Structure 1
Amino acid sequence: MPDLPIPTLATFAVYLAGMLAIGIICYRNTNTISDFILGGRRLNSLTAALSAHASDSSGWLLLGLTGWAYTSGLDALWMIVGLAIGIYLSWKFVAARLRTYTEQAGDALTISSYFEHRFEDDSRVLRVVSAIIILIFYTLYVSSGLVAGGLLFGEVFGIEFVTAVAVSAIVIVAYTFIGGFLAVSYTDVVQGLLMVLALVAVPLIGLYAVGGFDALFSGIEAKEPALLTLGRQTGYDAATGAWSAGGAFGLVSIVSSMAWGLGYFGQPHILARFMGIRSAAQIKSARRIGMTWVIVSMLGALLVGLVGIVFFEQPLGDPEKVFVNLTEAVLNPWIGGIMLAAVLAAIMSTADSQLLVVSSVLTEDLYRTLVNSKASDAQLVWIGRLLIVATAIVAFVLALQGGSVLGLVGYAWAGFGAAFGPLILISLYWKGVTRHGALAGIVSGAAMVVLWKQIGTPFGLYEMVPAFVLSAVLVPVVSLMTQTTLPSAAATARIDGFEAVEG
């Protein structure tokens, strides 16, 4: 192992100690299963917004998106636009209604329990099926975070991959185990602020280093003019370090890139922030804070990738390390350590949320529902903690298989977006959804994602698109065919009063 960079090591140590301290403080306020899963529904608008989007962004923002911008140039904008639209619409059309309904519907703590209450599913099939889907895709999602952590520690400290992934897993599990939802949410605020600071400072300093925007664009054009053409595909060969122009970035590619925005309607860790905010009245201010953070951060990530194209005379063998490499090159080790801690923040802020959701599902939707309905809050909280450890171990094993951070995230993102997104949207606006329609939407969305991926993503179309469309069609079609199983008026009456609480 090479000599460890002391300034960076010290910065990381202080950062990690701070995250653990927050976990310990939150431990004192985590007494019930509601506290552990949703923080007692007492997040303010700032905490809810930054936690929602820090937990959403993960390593794909600082590693995946920056790497895509490095290899594809301005065509990374299609994903950014799609994500921004999806974020806004999810805050606008889902957040307030879901917050209000889940509290009134038996204080539903998870998306699975929301489905059970909304559709009066006494069979509990909806709850169990949705819980299984969450377990499958979140285990993949957590593994992507551990891969990203492995890349970071390996690059910065020269630690071999297995050890680096293990270090990432231990750190993330520690404070999530201790403090539950409140620890996750409050650490996300710190992590979110650190991430946006890094995504403003690093690209601007890098831009100055290459000579400003004129020098940046002329330098990119010298490498490959297609990188600056919105709507023109660009290929990158890591072996030779050369970019090459392809054909037009056609409709399928544009739709696939922008379809990432559809995922926001069905991500359980984001929906949990909507459910955990103090009141629906705080949704509007949370939406404004969240949108500001997201737009600034994603544009910063795009600029990091573009600056990297010009700054590095020797093209990168691994484009997903462009942020790390640029940070080490343009900043002194102490400041660079803070910026690199932002990558760790991005990884941790998502992995901790995902571990908590998996633990919540196993504890609330499976253990208490199917095994021990009389378990005390103290028992459930400790079971939840132990299941966090178990999930992390499984994700660790999967992470050792390696893979692209963005590729792993994209698969899990599509799984949740297609399985739950259409049903969440439709069920909050239309009383006519039946439990059969709900089940058809969930199963078809998840199954199509897996099938589309397994047959090699035909036409290059992102699996989110056909799966989301299929689910969105089957929810109303099957519901209309099974109107004899409509939920009672009591279960749907709340929908009439939603307009009064929407931001």
Structure 2
Amino acid sequence: MENIPIPALVTFAIYLIGMIMIGVYVYRRTHTLGDFVLGGRSLNSTTAALSAHASDSSGWLLLGLPGWAYAAGMDAIWMIVGLAIGIYMSWLLVASRLRVYTAKADDALTLSAFFEYRFEDRSRMLRLFSAVIILVFYTLYVSSGLVAGGLLFGKVFGMDATTAMAVSVGVIVIYTFIGGFLAVSYTDVVQGMLMVVALVIVPLVAVAAIGGFTPLFSGIAAKEPALLAIGRQASFNAETGIWEAGGAFGLIAIISSMAWGLGYFGQPHILARFMGIRSAAHIRSARRIGMTWVITSMLGALLVGLAGIVYFDAPLGDPETVFLELIDALINPWIGGFLLAAVLAAIMSTADSQLLVASSALTEDFYRAFMKRDASDDSLVWIGRFTVVAVAIVAFVLALQGGGVLDLVAYAWAGFGAAFGPLVLLSLYWRGVTRNGALAGMIVGAGVVVLWRQLGTPMGLYEMVPAFVLSGVAIVVVSVITSASLPSKQATDLVGSAHE
């Protein structure tokens, strides 16, 4: 791929122009900050479901997860199981209640605004701390998308990493700047369909090229039997190109892998889809659509990695390129161009959502909350647009520092999951949470994630686990201690009620 491939160039251009046209189309429907941030709460079931999971499934789904399966084999199944459970439970336990509650909470447009209403926080500290957490971890999250975009453009067009990431951030910012939430949601539908089609076609073509599933599994066993043993660890040495068996895939490793599912309760860009759906009555069908998409996509990603182990005689230098390499080796260049666009779709569908939530935090939770409460809708929309650009620039600078796609995602995912997940659940189901308990849980969750990572993840335990647990404990303990300052009945009258 040293020369610029014309089929990929043409198909990428068609795809990118289509995304920008969607942004232009919905520009005329974006008049208020509510339109820009939540699309006027107008998403139907299909759009909400595909947008929620396309925005969730960044470069980790088409690059990180196949790369993990390529390097570690069937060990990756634990993460898939944990994610599937987490996704289902977030739709079941959170989606409907959050949609109804945020609409009542002075039409809260952000998670921070919901917390402020729910806990009657006149000090505005909940809004401030949650907005800071959103900005910090989303900047890291967007950086992971830019690294993935750099990997894609570098592989396909032979660009150097800096230029490739600059192109990535440019195309993402354009349509997010123009169309806001509706542009992001509608493009997510197209991107989600591209992604699932690619994750069905590529692994099936690869398995067919190998000769079927029997040669696939026998070929994997020939490389290293531990790759097929769910209860044993396997690892890939990129320098030697050899897979090596490790010890037992113990309880800590299983818990760490499955703990990814806990993150769904606290991801603001996914929760925003719950808040933006047309009504709680649409939740049930959206859940079914979303789960079908998620399970199909993740199993396809697993199969991509496993097929790559057998298909390539020479081991890959970077496991996270296995999806790109299979397309290059097996697919007609014109079809392959659209399948490669699915990788770009995965990257863009997440980065645009994250940029929008970070922009919302700056606009709604900093500027309007602390600087100019009477700002006009028109000025707020434009401030929102320009903060998209500002966050993207900071993320670009961080992306230049390097790091693996999955590693960056894991850090940000844990940050949100632990800081907001326990608080979202308890705020919807327990009237006993106080403002101080909420603040303590948020700070403890985010703080433990950072501390655990700085300590080198002791025992190999994913930072999500101790941070999520300790955040929940902090909320309960501090709320009990400060129970004299419970929120009023007006703020808590929807707690625990069923809305679906």
Query: TM-score band, normalised by the shorter chain?
Result: over 0.9
Match of 1:255 in 2: 255
CA RMSD of aligned residues (A): 0.7
Q: Which secondary structure state, in structure 2, belongs to the residue aligned with residue 243 of structure 1?
A: strand
Match of 1:351 in 2: 351
**Which letter does structure 2 place at the counterpart of 1:26?**
V
Distance 2:383 2:270 in 1: 23
Distance 2:167 2:420 in 1: 32
**Which letter does structure 2 place at the counterpart of 1:418?**
A
Match of 2:85 in 1: 85
Match of 2:67 in 1: 67
Distance 1:489 1:84 in 2: 35
Q: Which secondary structure state, in structure 2, belongs to the residue aligned with residue 230 of structure 1?
A: coil
**Which letter does structure 2 place at the counterpart of 1:414?**
A
**Which letter does structure 2 place at the counterpart of 1:118?**
R
Distance 2:396 2:75 in 1: 33
1:308 and 2:304 are equivalent in the alignment: no
**Which letter does structure 2 place at the counterpart of 1:370?**
F
TM-score, length-normalised on structure 1? 0.99
User: Residue 235 of structure 1: CA displacement?
Assistant: 1.3
Match of 1:232 in 2: 232
1:468 and 2:495 are equivalent in the alignment: no
Match of 2:452 in 1: 452
Match of 1:405 in 2: 405
Runs of 4+ in 1 over 6 A off after TM superposition: none
Match of 1:443 in 2: 443
Match of 1:477 in 2: 477
User: Residue 493 of structure 1: CA displacement?
Assistant: 1.0
Match of 2:317 in 1: 317
Distance 1:495 1:388 in 2: 34
Match of 1:100 in 2: 100
**Which letter does structure 2 place at the counterpart of 1:129?**
F
Distance 2:425 2:327 in 1: 41
**Which letter does structure 1 place at the counterpart of 2:421?**
G
User: Residue 142 of structure 1: CA displacement?
Assistant: 0.2
Distance 1:242 1:93 in 2: 44
Distance 1:176 1:493 in 2: 36
1:220 and 2:220 are equivalent in the alignment: yes
- Amino-acid identity (%): 72
Match of 1:290 in 2: 290
Match of 2:29 in 1: 29
TM-superposition CA deviations, 1:74-99 (whole Å, max 9, x none): 11000000000000000000000000
Match of 1:264 in 2: 264
Q: Pairwise mapping of residues 15-164 of structure 1 onto structure 2 (< 5 A)?
A: 15-164=15-164
Q: Which secondary structure state, in structure 2, belongs to the residue aligned with residue 317 of structure 1?
A: coil
Distance 1:303 1:3 in 2: 30
Distance 1:493 1:384 in 2: 32
Q: Pairwise mapping of residues 175-214 of structure 1 onto structure 2 (< 5 A)?
A: 175-214=175-214
Match of 1:377 in 2: 377
User: Residue 397 of structure 1: CA displacement?
Assistant: 0.3
TM-superposition CA deviations, 1:324-381 (whole Å, max 9, x none): 0001111010000010000000000000000000000000000000000010000000
Extract unaligned runs of 5+ from structure 2: none
Q: Is the 8 A contact 2:427 2:495 kept in 1?
A: no
Distance 1:217 1:65 in 2: 19
User: Residue 495 of structure 1: CA displacement?
Assistant: 2.2
User: Residue 494 of structure 1: CA displacement?
Assistant: 1.9
> Aligned pair in 2 of structure 1 residues 310, 2: CA closer, same or farther (>3 Å)?
closer
Distance 2:5 2:187 in 1: 25
Distance 1:43 1:144 in 2: 27
Match of 1:242 in 2: 242
Match of 1:6 in 2: 6
Match of 1:417 in 2: 417
TM-superposition CA deviations, 1:201-243 (whole Å, max 9, x none): 0000000000000000010000000000011000110011100
Q: Which secondary structure state, in structure 2, belongs to the residue aligned with residue 462 of structure 1?
A: coil
TM-score, length-normalised on structure 2? 1.00
Q: Which secondary structure state, in structure 2, belongs to the residue aligned with residue 246 of structure 1?
A: strand
Q: Which secondary structure state, in structure 2, belongs to the residue aligned with residue 40 of structure 1?
A: coil
Distance 2:402 2:16 in 1: 24
Distance 1:422 1:331 in 2: 45
User: Residue 139 of structure 1: CA displacement?
Assistant: 0.2
User: Residue 57 of structure 1: CA displacement?
Assistant: 0.4
**Which letter does structure 1 place at the counterpart of 2:49?**
A
Q: Which secondary structure state, in structure 1, belongs to the residue aligned with residue 244 of structure 2?
A: strand
**Which letter does structure 1 place at the counterpart of 2:296?**
V
Distance 1:256 1:2 in 2: 40
Match of 2:170 in 1: 170
User: Residue 106 of structure 1: CA displacement?
Assistant: 0.2
**Which letter does structure 1 place at the counterpart of 2:11?**
T
Q: Which secondary structure state, in structure 1, belongs to the residue aligned with residue 38 of structure 2?
A: helix
Distance 1:90 1:2 in 2: 44
Q: Which secondary structure state, in structure 2, belongs to the residue aligned with residue 107 of structure 1?
A: coil
Distance 1:270 1:28 in 2: 25
User: Residue 2 of structure 1: CA displacement?
Assistant: 3.7
User: Residue 52 of structure 1: CA displacement?
Assistant: 0.2
Distance 1:411 1:269 in 2: 16
**Which letter does structure 2 place at the counterpart of 1:239?**
E
Distance 1:49 1:204 in 2: 25
Q: Which secondary structure state, in structure 1, belongs to the residue aligned with residue 58 of structure 2?
A: helix
Q: Pairwise mapping of residues 427-442 of structure 1 onto structure 2 (< 5 A)?
A: 427-442=427-442
**Which letter does structure 1 place at the counterpart of 2:277?**
I
Distance 1:269 1:115 in 2: 16
The total of aligned residue pairs comes to: 500
> Aligned pair in 2 of structure 1 residues 2, 313: CA closer, same or farther (>3 Å)?
closer
Match of 1:280 in 2: 280
TM-superposition CA deviations, 1:186-211 (whole Å, max 9, x none): 00000000000000000000000000
